[in-house]
Structure 1
Amino acid sequence: MTALRRLGDGWGMLVLPLAAFLLVVFVYPLASVLARSLTDPEPGLGNYAAFFDSPVYLDVLGNTFVTAGLVTLVTLLLGFPYAYLMTVARPFWRGVLMAAVLVPFWTSLLVRTFAWVLLLRDTGVVNALIPGEPVPLLRNLAGITIGMVQVMLPFAVLPMYATMRGIDRRLLRAAEGLGATPVFAFWRVYAPLALPGVAAALLLVFVSTLGFYVTPALLGGPKDVMIGELIVQQLSGVLRWGFASALAVILLLVTGALLLVASRLVDLRKMIGSGS
């Protein structure tokens, strides 16, 4: 009763709407998915057994994480220098670079993906610029990577830029004044200070990429199916709602396990700035 009284007379009342919202839009759907995976078409672990008994489904899960890892790596390799350039550019050009990052948010994902289909096909603009025979860039991992990197690049650039803009560049000049070369000063002084932004970008891009459906469905081929596509196929194609729910639960658990392992290796709270 004391706890309820304190909740009612203080700032705790402000938490109730948020808690109710999370229960309705997050906890309840997750509980429903878990329940359906254990009860449809019959009670038990049959859906999970069907997944682990089939090497095809295991290959899809593995392909999902391999693709997400590749997209994350390429996104960080492109996003890091872009974010750094934004910190050293003049205000006008910084605004131009920021606008280039934000423009994709104003365009439909489906429209952007169809644009990549036109650009990457054998008779598209990209192959027209490449001498010789057309390079296959559609219905394979290359097309998926290009399309997903373009979608996820803003999610990598923005957290890294937010961290980099707070780094005092006088530290680099101080390191150079003590005899360090510019390259050595960058990697030993600047890069470690930018690491929290890189970690935040890595987690955001990797976890978001795991659930992609539209881009791999349109740019990938039969050998590049990701688990998001498999879930949709099970829902709309064969109406296996219980098995599709099991796939979603498995993806959630594996992702959580990987994050747990990562938290054992590095202090994720400190790297993303929420720890002391």
Structure 2
Amino acid sequence: MAPFFLLIGFAFLYPLLSLLSISVTEPQTGLQNYERILDTPVYGKVLLRTLWIALLVSILSLFLAFPVAMAMVSSSGAMAVFITACILLPFWSSVLVRTAAWAVLLQRNGIVNDLLQAIGIIDAPVRLLYTQGAVVVAMTHVLMPFMVLPIYGALRNIPPDYGRAAAICGAGPLRSFFEVTLPLAMPGVLGGFILVFLTALGYFITPALLGSPQEMMIATLISQQLREFLDWPFAAALVGVLTLFVTAITLLFSRVFRFDRMLGGQV
């Protein structure tokens, strides 16, 4: 494991710690950069908006990913290969390409507006690009595979005899799902949820291309401070706040949602 830890230390920990040190040493020693975040309401709104969008994307990804994961487990042969290919195919193209595709679909003369007009929902093209909805939809599309794969792994490890035993005991399909399948799949659900949520917190490309300045997320704000204002200390403070939130949320999930507790093990 030594090469792995050396790589993590050199490529992640050292740059992060160096950046965070700038936030408390420049332009002067202290917490002035962090006080600026607290004293300016707009930065708090950006952080809350980022948390809301990340939560919304995670919930939508969960509701879309669970049926797909169940279909992967219950399918075989060509259908299983087809579903797996649909999940893995997006990894073969860059996030930039997938985001640009959504920009084409959501433009005023795009397919989505044309379809809505054709079925009579709208009379004229509406603004779909550069909105929070566009960001949420595109991020859900990009991040959903990271939800499907952990859930698929958890569902695949559930013995099929459990479902048959529940049916023998009189449980219908719905009750069997909520009392047998879902509890046993919770480790995969929570693993995928955490992975998508934490990734969405620091997402940059999709919000930068499909969002508007009024719907800015924290990663876009950090990029703006670095590229436009060249304010590295304040950008480092924003990174510190984001790192603090990510760490706190990870510790909260690991402490509250204990896998052994969900599976009926002893605490």
| Bucket of the pairwise TM-score, normalised by the shorter protein | over 0.9
1:204 aligns with 2:195: yes
Of the structure 1 ranges 57-66 and 37-46, higher mean CA displacement relative to structure 2 is found in 37-46
Find the aligned partners of 1:115 and 1:175 in 2 and give their Cα distance: 45
Match for residue 127 of structure 1?
113
Deviations 1:152-185 (A, max 9, x none): 0110101111111111122111111111111111
Match for residue 10 of structure 2?
24
Match for residue 163 of structure 2 among 158, 172, 186: 172
1:189 Cα deviation from its structure 2 partner: 0.7
Find the aligned partners of 1:22 and 1:109 in 2 and give their Cα distance: 23
Match for residue 260 of structure 1 among 251, 257, 262: 251
Match for residue 48 of structure 2 among 43, 47, 62: 62
- Aligned pair count? 260
| Contact 1:199/1:271, CA 8 A, preserved across alignment | no
1:17 Cα deviation from its structure 2 partner: 3.1
Find the aligned partners of 1:250 and 1:182 in 2 and give their Cα distance: 45
Match for residue 38 of structure 1 among 21, 24, 28: 24
Deviations 1:244-273 (A, max 9, x none): 01100110001211222333322168779x
1:226 aligns with 2:217: yes
Match for residue 47 of structure 1?
33
Letter paired with 1:227: I
| Contact 1:160/1:197, CA 8 A, preserved across alignment | yes
Match for residue 146 of structure 2 among 124, 136, 155: 155
| Contact 2:46/2:218, CA 8 A, preserved across alignment | yes
> Taking structure 1 as reference, are residues 135 and 181 closer, same or farther at Cα in structure 2, changes over 3 Å only?
farther
Task: Give the structure with higher Rg (CA).
Answer: 1
1:183 aligns with 2:174: yes
> Secondary structure of the residue that 1:129 maps to in structure 2?
helix
Moved over 4 A (4+): 268-272
Indicate the RMSD between aligned Cα atoms, in angstroms. Answer: 1.9
Match for residue 86 of structure 2?
100
**Residue identity (%):** 42
| TM-score, reference length from structure 1 | 0.89
What are structure 1's unaligned runs of at least 5 residues? 1-14
What are structure 2's unaligned runs of at least 5 residues? none
| Contact 2:183/2:262, CA 8 A, preserved across alignment | no
> Taking structure 1 as reference, are residues 195 and 16 closer, same or farther at Cα in structure 2, changes over 3 Å only?
closer
Find the aligned partners of 1:211 and 1:269 in 2 and give their Cα distance: 30
| TM-score, reference length from structure 2 | 0.92
Match for residue 239 of structure 1?
230
> Taking structure 1 as reference, are residues 135 and 192 closer, same or farther at Cα in structure 2, changes over 3 Å only?
farther
